[in-house]
Structure 1
Amino acid sequence: MRISKEPEERKQEILETAMQLFAEKGYEKTSISDIAKKIGVAQGLCYRYFPSKDILFQTAINEYADILVNKLKLKNSVKQVSIKDMITHMEVLSENANDIYYDTFHNEKNKTFHDLLFLSVCQKLVPIVAKLIENGNATGELHVSDIESYANFCVYGQLGILADETLSSEEKNKKIKAVLFDLFNL
Structure 2
Amino acid sequence: MPRKPDIAQQLLDSALSLFAERTYEGTQMPAVAQRAGVGVGSIYRYFPSKEALGNAAFQYAKRGLLDQLNDALVEGGPVHTVREEFGRFWLGFTRYAGSAHDAFVFLEHQQHDTFLAPESQALAVEVDRVASDFIERGQRSGEIRDGDPQQLVALAIGAFTGLVKHLRPGGIGKLSPASLKVAEDAVWDLLHRKADS
- Percent sequence identity over aligned pairs: 15
* Distance in 2 of aligned mates of 1:55 and 1:46: 10
**Match of residue 94 from structure 2:** 93
Shift in Å, 1:160: 1.2
Larger radius of gyration: 1
d(CA) in 1 for partners of 2:57 and 2:128? Answer: 20
Q: Is the 8 A contact 2:144 2:191 kept in 1?
A: no
Determine if the alignment matches structure 1 residue 177 to structure 2 residue 182. Answer: no
Q: SS of the counterpart of 1:93?
A: helix
Give the secondary-structure state (helix, strand or coil) at the position aligned to 1:51.
coil
Among 57, 62, 74, the alignment partner of 2:59 is 62
Question: Which residue pairs with 2:83 in the alignment?
Answer: 84
* Matches of 2:104 and 2:73, distance apart in 1: 26
Alignment of 1:23-172 (within 5 A): 28=28, 29-30=30-31, 43=41, 47=44, 49-73=46-70, 76=73, 80-89=79-88, 90-91=90-91, 92-95=93-96, 102=100, 105=102, 115-119=105-109, 125-165=127-167, 168-169=174-175, 170=177, 171-172=179-180
Q: What is the match of residue 12 of structure 2?
A: 19
Q: Distance in 2 between matches of 1:156 and 1:19?
A: 25
Structure 2: which amino acid aligns with 1:82? T
Q: Secondary structure at the match of 1:144?
A: coil
* Stretches of structure 2 lacking an aligned partner (at least 5 in a row): 1-5, 22-26, 113-122
What are structure 1's unaligned runs of at least 5 residues? Answer: 1-12, 106-112
User: What is aligned with 2:119?
Assistant: none
Could you tell me which amino acid in structure 1 is paired with residue 59 of structure 2?
N
Structure 1 vs Structure 2 CA RMSD = 4.2
Q: Normalising to structure 1: TM-score of the pair? A: 0.59
| Aligned mates of 2:159, 2:97 — CA distance in 1 | 22
Tell me, in whole angstroms, the C-alpha distance in 2 between the residues paired with 1:74 and 1:20: 22
SS at match of 2:96: coil
| Counterpart for residue 117 of structure 2 | none
CA deviation digits over 1:80-99, x for unaligned, max 9?
542111234431412377x5
Amino acid aligned to 2:81: S
